[in-house]
Structure 1
């Protein structure tokens, strides 16, 4: 299921970021949102996901992508486990008295369907997405052929016998997030695996 962008053209307008092409603006908002979600490791905005989770033998199973709002079902081998009898939701974790393991030679996943994430996207995340999309829109509009999309960040210049040095680690486009920003997003939103972003 495709997730809605973390920011809209109205958010661009609120920040006086100019855009003329609706399709272009919406495209870059979607791309920036995907980049931020990938960095966070979770959808951020509220959604319903079905994910396979493997237990480690303990009684507690952490659900990725907090906060967890509700759990619709827990399924093992096609059989639904009974809430309140087989499992309980406690502070974003699933509790099971007999533990989250399956006997047998092959590990088996518990398939969990649950609603999680934030009902409102935090203002700073909206701002980050808008800045990324705004920069990409501006660069795209500078050159009809798209050459303006290549980001060349200058880190040093010299005037005598003119020389310039570009930051090779800055990334290829405005959609690249710095390692510091990626680490901050992952730590803040408690990201699980990258697969968590692709909810279904």
Structure 2
């Protein structure tokens, strides 16, 4: 099942209709699509999930994990060799290793990390994303034909593509990136 940052009940509440009157398959599809839009804008998957990533680290002691927030690290393997938790430390959304992740004179290293990231269902931090998903899905659900303009005299109707209606507005994109995106950090060279 695809990620969902809102529920059909949330959509019914926005549209002021009884949940029993909601076409649940259509609502679920729209919520999943809107969730994909929101997470793409945020630049990451923001719902709680466990992922395994393969990273090619730069020389240094710090290794940044791509999905935030990091909840736990289940395993770390460097070039196929599993490291113990004593070989590295989890610090926020980074891993620190005393001997570094890559030597300047060695061939490139691959680090496989299995970790849990994102916000739990119901977390306060998900409310902005939930609001955005319900707004995007609600706009399409309430107007499935995509009518953008009607005229009665000499009858004329204009339609809008569903992809345009499921596009996040610039102010929404900016807010989601600011709230959920990776913030700029300080980079230490050689350390």
TM-score with structure 2 setting the length: 0.76
| 2:130 equivalent to 1:130 | no
| 2:178 equivalent to 1:187 | yes
Q: 1:117-176: CA deviations, max 9, x gaps? A: 111262222111011101111221xxxxxxx237x58xxxxxxxxxxxx9xxxx942210
| Aligned residues: CA RMSD | 2.7
**Larger relative contact order (Cα-Cα within 8 Å, sequence gap ≥ 6):** 1
Following the alignment from structure 1 to structure 2, what is the Cα–Cα distance between the partners of residues 55 and 179? 34
What's the secondary structure of 2:167's corresponding residue?
coil
Figure out how many residues of one structure are paired with residues of the other and give that number: 167
Judge conservation of contact 1:149–1:173 (CA < 8 Å) in 2. no
What's the secondary structure of 1:70's corresponding residue?
strand
Judge conservation of contact 2:136–2:168 (CA < 8 Å) in 1. no
Once the two structures are TM-superposed, the CA of residue 182 in structure 1 deviates from its matched residue by 2.1
Taking structure 1 as reference, are residues 124 and 17 closer, same or farther at Cα in structure 2, changes over 3 Å only? farther
4+ residue stretches of structure 1 with deviation over 6 A?
none
Following the alignment from structure 2 to structure 1, what is the Cα–Cα distance between the partners of residues 48 and 143? 31
Once the two structures are TM-superposed, the CA of residue 191 in structure 1 deviates from its matched residue by 4.5
Equivalence for 1:65 = 67
Following the alignment from structure 1 to structure 2, what is the Cα–Cα distance between the partners of residues 94 and 30? 32
| Structure 1 unaligned regions, length at least 5 | 141-147, 154-165, 193-200
Following the alignment from structure 2 to structure 1, what is the Cα–Cα distance between the partners of residues 60 and 170? 33
| Structure 2 unaligned regions, length at least 5 | 150-157, 184-191
| 2:75 equivalent to 1:81 | no
Aligned partner of 1:25 among 24, 27, 34 = 27
| 2:15 equivalent to 1:11 | no
Taking structure 1 as reference, are residues 108 and 187 closer, same or farther at Cα in structure 2, changes over 3 Å only? farther
Following the alignment from structure 1 to structure 2, what is the Cα–Cα distance between the partners of residues 72 and 46? 14
Q: 1:34-60: CA deviations, max 9, x gaps? A: 000111111111111111222111211
